Amino acid sequence: MSSEDDSVGFHGYERDALLDLKAGFKNSFLDNNWTSLMCYMNDTPYWYGVQCLNGQVTGLVLDNMGLTGEINVDALVNLTELVSLSFKNNSIAGNMMEFTHNHKLRNINISGNGFDGEIPSSVLNLNSLESLQLQDNNLSGSIPGFNQSTLKAFNVSYNNLSGTIPETKTLQSLSLSSYFGNENLCGPPTPTLCSTRNNLSDSDTVLVFADVIVLVIILFLFMIYYKKFKELKMKRNEEQENTIMDRAMDEGIPKRERGKPVFMENNGMTTFELDDLLKAPAKGLGKGNFGNCYKAMMEIGQVVVVKRVVRQVRAIADQKHPNLMPLLAYYYSEDEKFFLYKFASHGNLFDRLHGGRGTGDRVPFRWSSRLAVARGVGQALKHLHLNTRTRTTAAHGNLKSSNVLLYENDQILVSDYGLTSLIALPIAAQHMASFKCPEYLSHKLISKKSDVWSYGSLLLKLLTGRIPSHSAPPGTNGVDLCSWAYRAVREEWTAEIFDAEILAGKWPEIGQVLAEVEEIKVGGESEDEQYSYSSFDRSLTDDSLSATPSVVIGDDQR
Ligand SMILES: Nc1ncnc2c1ncn2[C@@H]1O[C@H](COP(=O)(O)OP(=O)(O)OP(=O)(O)O)[C@@H](O)[C@H]1O
C-alpha cells in the first residue's frame, strides 16, 4: 500500500489496481477516461464504471465495452471493499480472477466473455454472494460446492463444465436453465444420470474392466471344473462303487493267491495282470446263482465282465461260435476263481422282453428281432451239442433269457454254457434251467434234450412275451408256458397267444415259426444219448486245473 493510504478518501493502491486492469484491456475509451482523480469521499466517481463509497471502490461495472485481453488473476486483491463486479458482454479471455480478498462481493457478472479454466474455489468463501453470472464463457472443470444461503441467482449455462452437480441445497434448488449448455454435467437437477465411468479416470476404467474380465474367466473355469467334478463323481458313484478286490472282501472271499490270469488265444484282448483287474473300478451286474457278475472298466480302456465261479474248465474256453459268449480269460487259484467275458452292452433277452413295458421308454421288440434271437440261440445250442471238434460236446444246462445276451450289431451271444459240471448237484438242481424240465422232475433224467426243452420254453417266451414259471426271477410271477401254450393251441386261441407287440408289427406266419423250430430240432434228434455230469467232468482232467470234481452224482440221476 502507498503512503496515500492514510489520506482520507483516497486509496492509491486501489487506483493502481484499476490502472493495471486498464492497461490489460487496451481500451481507448478507458485510456482517456481513467485519468486524474478516481473517487474522492462520497463524490460521484470521476472514472467511468467505478463506484466508490467513502473514497473506496465498491463497484466496477464495465459492461458491453468491447474489452479484450486477459485479467491478472490477482487483479482484484486490493479492491477489498468491492461489492459488485460486472464485465458483462466483453471479450475478456484467460482464467477467472481470484476473490480471496473480496469478502464483501455480492454480485459477480462476467457472462458473455471468453474466460476459460476452472471456477476458482475462492468464490466459496464469498459469504455475501447473492448473484454469480458466469454463463456464456469457456469455463471447464466441475462446479464447486456452493452452499451460501445468500446465493439466489446463479448461472453457469453454456460453458464446458462437467461432472456431477454437487448435491448442496443451494445448487439443487436452482432451475435447470442455470446449467444448460454443459454437455458433460450430470445429476439433478439435470435429467442426465451420472454413470460410474464419469467418475473414473481412464486408467481406473481399464483396471475395472480387466478385473471384471478376470472374474468372469475365473467364474467360467470354476463352473467347468465344478461340472466336470460333478460328472466324474456321478460316474464314479454309478460305476465305481468298489473294485473287484473290495467286492471280494465284502463277499468274505479271503486274500487270493497271486497268479496270472490265463488268456485265451486270438480273442482280440490286450492282456493284463491280475492286479490290474482286481483294482479296476467295478459295477455289479447281478447276483447269479453261482457267483456274482461284475462289469470292470480296465485302465487300458477295455470293458470286461467278470464272473466268479467255483471251479473252471478248459472245455468252456474251447467252445468258439459266433453265438456263444467267448471266454476271454480265466483265473484259478485256491481262493479265487473267475471267468472273464466281454461286455454285452445291449443287455439280456429277459430285459429286452419285459423291460419298460407299460412305460413310454419301451422300444417294441418286433417279430424279426425275436426270430433273430431264436435263430442265434438255436445255432449256439447246436454247436454245443454237436460240434465234435471240441474236446467234449456238452449241454448248456442253464439256458434262460438272462443268459442270452444282446451284443453290438444285434449279435446274439449265449453265455453261462458249460457251468453245470462245476456246480454241486443239489445247487444245480435248485437253480439251473435244465433241471426244471419234465424228465428231470418225473424221472430225475437230465440230458442235452433238457436244453431243447429250455429252448422250447425260450421260444414260447419270445412268442408270448410271458415269463415261464421255471425261470421267473424272484418277485415275479411266471406261468407254466408249456401247458399254457398247449391249452391255447388245443382251444384254438391262436391270436391271443402271441405277444401284442408282435401283432402290432407284421403278423408272423405260424408255419414260418414252426419251420424255424423244426430246422433246429433236426440236429438234436440224432444225439439221443442222455448225459450226466460225468460228461462235463471229463474236461476237468486238464492238468492246469487242480480242483477236484465238485459234483456228487447219485444213481437216481442217471
Ligand atoms: N458278458 C455279459 N455282458 C453283459 N451282461 C452280462 C454278462 N454276463 C452276465 N450279464 C448279466 O449280469 C447279470 C448276472 O448274470 P449271472 O449270469 O451271474 O446271473 P443270472 O444269469 O441272472 O443267473 P445264473 O447265475 O443262473 O446264470 C444278468 O443280468 C446277466 O444278463
Q: What angle do CA 500, 503, 509 make, to 5 degrees?
A: 130
Averaged pLDDT of the chain: 76
Ligand 1 center to residue 262 CA distance, Å?
21
Average pLDDT estimate for 287-304: 73
Average pLDDT over residues 324-338: 74
Nearest CA to ligand 1 atom 14: 286
The whole-number pLDDT of residue 389 equals 67
Whether 541 shows a pLDDT value over 50: the answer reads no
Whole-number CA gyration radius for the chain: 54
Is 12-186's fold the same as 352-520's?
no
In the structure grid, which three cell numbers stand for residue 473, read together? 426271477
Matching CATH number, 352-520, of 1.20.58.340, 1.10.510.10, 1.20.272.10, 1.20.1070.10: 1.10.510.10
Residue 134: exposed, middle, or buried by beta-carbon count in 10 A (0-12, 13-18, 19+)?
buried
Mean pLDDT, range 422-445, rounded to an integer: 79
User: Strand ranges (DSSP E) for 89-229?
Assistant: 93-95, 107-109, 114-117, 131-133, 138-141, 153-155, 160-164, 184-186
Give the nearest ligand 1 atom to 342 CA.
1
pLDDT of 432 above 90: no
pLDDT class for 91, splitting at 50, 70, 90? very high
Q: How far apart are CA 386 and CA 131, in angstroms?
A: 121
Ligand 1 centroid vs 175 CA: distance in angstroms? Answer: 89
Q: Judge whether residue 105 has pLDDT over 60.
A: yes
Is pLDDT at 224 greater than 60 in this prediction?
yes
Place of cell 439443487: 172
Superfamily of structural domain 12-186: Ribonuclease Inhibitor (3.80.10.10)
CA separation, residue 83 to residues 107, 112, 156 (Å) = 7, 20, 20
Q: What confidence category does residue 427 fall into, taking pLDDT thresholds of 50, 70 and 90? A: confident
Q: Report the topology of domain 258-343.
A: Phosphorylase Kinase; domain 1 (3.30.200)
Q: Does position 233 have pLDDT exceeding 70, yes or no?
A: no
What are the extents of the domains in the chain?
12-186, 212-251, 258-343, 352-520
User: What confidence category does residue 543 fall into, taking pLDDT thresholds of 50, 70 and 90?
Assistant: very low
Q: 497 or 376, which is more confident?
A: 376
Place of cell 465344478: 226
Is the Cα torsion angle 221, 222, 228, 231 positive or negative in sign?
negative
Ligand 1 lining (C-beta closer than 6 Å): 285-286, 288-290, 293, 305, 307, 325, 341, 343-344, 348, 398, 402-403, 405, 415-416, 431
Asked if residue 544 has pLDDT above 50, the reply is no
pLDDT band at 253 (very low <50, low <70, confident <90, very high): very low
Give CA–CA dist 261/190, Å, rounded: 86
Q: What is the pLDDT of residue 303?
A: 82
pLDDT value of residue 442: 85
CA–CA distances in Å: residue 19 to residues 151, 175, 348 = 30, 38, 114
| CB neighbour burial string for 188-212, b if at least 16 within 10 angstroms, e if fewer | eeeeeeeeeeeeeeeeeeeeeeeee
b/e per residue 6-19 (b: at least 16 CB within 10 A) = eeeebbeebbebbe
Which range among 37-46, 154-163, 399-408 shows the weakest confidence by mean pLDDT?
Answer: 37-46
Centre of ligand 1 to C-alpha 54, Å, is 121
pLDDT in tens, 372-381: 999 999 999 9
The ipTM, to two decimals, is 0.94
Looking at the chain, the whole-number percentage of residues with pLDDT higher than 90 is: 28
Please state which of the ranges 69-78, 292-301, 374-383 shows the lowest mean pLDDT: 292-301
Tell me if 33 sits within 8 A of 47, measured CB to CB.
Answer: yes
CA distance 19 to 17: 5
User: Is residue 307 annotated as involved in ligand binding?
Assistant: yes
Please report the atom of ligand 1 found closest to the CA of residue 415. 8
Closest CA to 41 of 49, 25, 52: 52
Residue 550 phi/psi, 5-degree rounding, is -100, 5
544 CA to middle of ligand 1, Å?
26
Mutate to test the pocket of ligand 1, among 323, 373, 415 (most ligand atoms within 8 A of CB): 415
> How confident is the model at residue 349, as a pLDDT?
94
Q: Name the pLDDT band for 245 (thresholds 50, 70, 90).
A: low
Question: How far apart are the C-alpha atoms of 457 and 399, rounded to whole Å?
Answer: 10
pLDDT score of 111 more than 80: yes
Which is more confidently placed, 252 or 62?
Answer: 62
Best probe residue, ligand 1, of 348, 417, 419 (max atoms within 8 Å of C-beta): 348
Q: Give first-to-last CA distance, the chain, whole Å.
A: 145
Q: What is the pTM of this model?
A: 0.46
Confidence of residue 517 (pLDDT cuts 50, 70, 90): low
pLDDT score, position 535: 30
Q: Is the pLDDT of residue 324 over 90?
A: yes
